[in-house]
C-alpha cells in the first residue's frame, strides 16, 4: 500500500480525527521517504475509549506489511496483560529487549505497539531509550560483533491518559463557538505530554519521556453523535444490511453521551457497536422467521 492509498482510506474510514490523520500521514511520510532516518519513529496516541487508537494502529500495520497486524514484524504488547507485576519489571525489561533486538535483526522496519501504557509497571519503558534515541546502532548482546540498525523501526504507545484534558479543551472551544476542525495540534500536544508524564503508569517519571524521544503526541478527540452514526451505518453495511433510520436510532440508544449539560460526546466512542449491530440484525431475522 502506498502512503497516498493510506491517506485515501483514512479520509473514508477514520471519522472525526482530522488532527490524527494529518499528524500520522506526515510522520509516516517523513520517516519512510528517508532511506536513512535520523531516529526511529515514535508516536503516542491519547484519547477516550473507542475513538480509533487501536484501529489506526491496525491501519498503519496494513500499510507497512502485506499481512498487516498478522505480520511477524508487528509486535503488540498490552500493559496490563503482558506485564502485570511491578516486581518483575527487570525480567520484563530483559524479555522486551530480546524481542526488539531479534525482530530488528530480521526486519529493520519492525513495528512495536504498547497498549494500555498507563497500566504498565513504572520504569519498564526505560528499556526502549537506546532504541528510540538518535543512536544508529545497538549492539546485539548475543553476537558481540553484530549491531542492529534501530532507526527504521516504528513505536506506538496507546493510552487513555490525557482524555479528560482533551475533552475539556474541546468543550471550551465549543462553548466559544469554535468548530472541532479549528482545534490546533499545538494546544493538545502540550496538554497530553504534561498529563502523560504526571499520571501514574508506564510513562510516569520515565526516561523515555524525559529524553524527549517521543516524536509525536497524537490527540484522539471524543466522538460526537454524527460520528457514531457513521460507525453504526458501516457496521450494518459490513453485514450486508442497508440500515433504516429506525435501525440507526435503535443502535444509538445503546450509546451514552456526556459530560452534562451538553452531552456532546459518546463516552465509549464507537466501541462494541459491531456487537450491538450484530445482535440487532439477528433479532430482526429471527422475528421474520417466526411470523
Ligand X SMILES: Nc1ncnc2c1ncn2[C@@H]1O[C@H](COP(=O)(O)OP(=O)(O)OP(=O)(O)O)[C@@H](O)[C@H]1O
Which residues make Cβ contacts (< 8 Å) with residue 278, sequence separation at least 6? Answer: 235, 239
The answer to the question of residue 163 lying near Mg ion (CB under 5 A) is no
With respect to ligand X, which residue has the nearer C-beta, 19 or 270? 270
Among 153, 269, 277, 280, binds ligand X (CB under 6 A): 269
Compute the distance between CA of residue 113 and CA of residue 196 in angstroms, rounded to an integer. Answer: 17
With respect to ligand X, which residue has the nearer C-beta, 79 or 123? 79
To which residue does cell 491501519 refer?
59
Q: CB of 80: closest distance to ligand X in angstroms?
A: 11
Binding mask 30-69 for Mg ion (x = CB under 5 A): -----------------------xx---------------
Which residues make Cβ contacts (< 8 Å) with residue 43, sequence separation at least 6? Answer: 23, 24, 27, 154, 155, 156, 157, 214, 215, 216, 217, 218
With respect to ligand X, which residue has the nearer C-beta, 130 or 276? 276
Among 7, 9, 55, 278, binds ligand X (CB under 6 A): 55
The answer to the question of residue 270 lying near ligand X (CB under 6 A) is yes
- List binders of ligand X among 223-242 (CB under 6 A): 231
The 41-46 sheet, strands edge to edge: 74-78, 111-115, 154-159, 41-46, 216-219
- List binders of ligand X among 101-160 (CB under 6 A): 160
Amino acid at each position: 500500500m502506498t502512503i497516498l492509498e493510506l491517506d485515501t482510506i483514512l479520509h473514508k474510514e477514520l471519522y472525526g480525527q482530522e488532527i490524527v490523520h494529518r499528524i500520522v500521514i506526515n510522520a509516516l511520510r517523513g520517516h519512510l521517504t528517508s532511506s536513512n532516518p535520523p531516529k526511529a519513529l515514535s508516536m503516542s496516541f491519547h484519547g477516550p475509549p473507542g475513538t480509533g487508537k487501536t484501529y489506526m494502529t491496525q491501519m498503519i500495520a496494513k500499510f507497512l506489511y502485506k499481512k498487516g497486524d498478522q505480520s511477524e514484524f508487528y509486535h503488540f504488547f498490552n500493559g496490563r496483560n503482558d506485564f502485570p507485576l511491578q516486581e518483575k519489571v527487570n525480567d520484563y525489561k530483559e524479555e522486551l529487549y530480546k524481542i526488539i533486538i531479534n525482530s530488528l535483526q530480521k526486519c529493520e522496519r519492525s513495528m512495536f505497539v504498547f497498549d494500555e501504557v498507563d497500566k504498565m509497571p513504572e520504569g519498564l519503558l526505560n528499556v526502549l531509550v537506546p532504541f528510540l534515541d538518535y543512536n544508529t546502532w545497538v549492539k546485539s548482546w548475543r553476537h558481540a560483533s553484530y549491531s542492529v540498525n534501530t532507526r527504521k523501526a516504528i513505536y506506538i504507545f496507546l493510552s487513555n491518559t490525557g482524555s479528560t484534558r482533551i475533552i475539556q479543551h474541546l468543550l471550551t472551544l465549543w462553548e466559544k463557538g469554535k468548530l472541532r476542525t479549528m482545534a490546533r495540534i499545538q494546544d493538545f500536544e502540550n496538554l497530553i505530554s504534561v498529563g502523560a508524564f504526571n499520571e501514574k503508569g508506564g510513562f510516569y517519571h520515565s526516561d523515555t519521556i524525559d529524553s524527549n524521544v517521543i516524536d509525536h503526541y497524537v490527540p484522539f478527540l471524543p466522538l460526537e453523535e454524527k460520528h457514531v452514526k457513521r460507525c453504526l451505518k458501516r457496521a450494518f453495511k459490513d453485514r450486508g444490511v442497508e440500515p433504516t433510520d429506525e435501525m440507526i436510532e435503535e443502535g444509538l440508544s445503546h450509546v451514552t453521551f456526556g459530560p452534562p449539560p451538553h452531552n456532546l460526546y459518546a463516552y465509549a466512542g464507537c466501541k462494541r457497536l459491531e456487537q450491538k449491530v450484530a445482535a440487532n440484525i439477528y433479532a430482526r431475522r429471527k422475528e421474520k422467521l417466526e411470523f
